[in-house]
Amino acid sequence: MSAHCPNCQQLLTHSDAGFDCRHCGSHFGEIAICPDCHQPLQVLKACGAVDYFCQHGDGLISKKRVTFIPDVAES
Ligand SMILES: [Zn+2]
Ligand SMILES: [Zn+2]
């Protein structure tokens, strides 16, 4: 999945810290989305590990399956 910068419409680069726009330098947080029901996942952080939990019936989601989208409301 690809995400685009809301400021300049360029492709965003995803890293562990979120999304960055190499074009205009904007940084965005990330939102974890359930691959099954496409609702935001609850992020559970424990002992350095992060788990993603779907509150809509899909349970724990492996990070490999999580879809990340930029949190464009945050600047
Ligand atoms: Zn940009
Ligand atoms: Zn789900």
What's the topology of domain 12-71?
Answer: Rubredoxin-like (2.10.290)
Read off the pLDDT band of 1 (50, 70, 90): low
Q: Is the confidence at residue 14, as pLDDT, over 50?
A: yes
Q: From ligand 1's centre to the CA of 67, what distance in Å?
A: 21
Amino acid at 46: A
Encode pLDDT of 57-66 as tens digits: 999 999 999 9
Ordered DSSP codes for 7-55: TT-PBEEEETTEEEETTT--EEEEEEE-TTT-PBPEEEEETTEEEEEET
CB atoms closer than 10 angstroms to residue 46: 7
Q: Cα 44 to chain center, whole Å?
A: 14
Q: What is the mean pLDDT of residues 7-28?
A: 95
Domain boundaries along the sequence of the chain:
12-71
Ligand nearest to the CA of 33: 2
Tell me the average pLDDT of the chain: 93
